[in-house]
Amino acid sequence: MTTAPALSAKAKPKANGAQQKLWAFASLIVLLLFFSVASPNFMQTSNILAILQATSVNGVLAIAATLVIITGGIDLSVGTLMTFTAVIAGVVLTYAGLPFAVGVVAAVAAGAGCGLISGTLVAKMKVPPFIATLGMMLILKGLSLVISGTKPIYFNDTPGFDQISTGSFVGAIIPAVPLPNGVLILFLLALAIGYVLNRTVLGRYCFALGSNEEAVRLSGVNADGWKMAIYALAGGICGIAGLIIASRLNSAQPALGLGYELDAIAAVVIGGTSLAGGRGSVLGTIIGALIMSVLLNGLRIMSVAQEWQTVVTGSIIIIAVYADMMRRRRLS
**Stretch (H or E) spanning 145:** helix 129-148
Give least dist CB 201 to another protein, A: 5
Scan residues 24-63 and list those touching another protein (CB under 8 A). 24-27, 30-31, 34, 38-39, 41-42, 44, 46-47, 50, 53-54, 57
Scan residues 198-227 and list those touching another protein (CB under 8 A). 199-205, 207-208, 210-212, 214-221
Q: How far apart are CA 264 and CA 252, in angstroms?
A: 20
User: In the complex with another protein, which residue's Cβ is closer, 9 or 101?
Assistant: 9
Give least dist CB 147 to another protein, A: 13
3-state secondary structure labels for all residues of 253-304: CCCCCCCHHHHHHHHHHHCCCCCCCCCCCHHHHHHHHHHHHHHHHHHHHCCC
**Stretch (H or E) spanning 252:** strand 251-252
Cβ–Cβ < 8 Å for 146, 248: no
> How many binding residues for another protein (CB under 8 A)?
99
Give least dist CB 308 to another protein, A: 5
Q: How far apart are CA 108 and CA 169, in angstroms?
A: 21
Q: Does 100 bind another protein (CB under 8 A)?
A: no
Contact flags string 9-28 toward another protein, x per CB under 8 A: xx-xx------xx-xxxxx-
Query: How many beta carbons lie within 10 A of that of residue 257, not counting itself?
Result: 27
Candidates 3-11, 108-116, 120-128, 169-177; binding stretch for another protein (CB under 8 A)? 3-11
Scan residues 253-312 and list those touching another protein (CB under 8 A). 253-259, 270-272, 278-279, 284, 287, 291, 293, 296-297, 299-308, 312
CA-based diameter of the chain, in Å?
67
User: In the complex with another protein, which residue's Cβ is closer, 203 or 236?
Assistant: 203
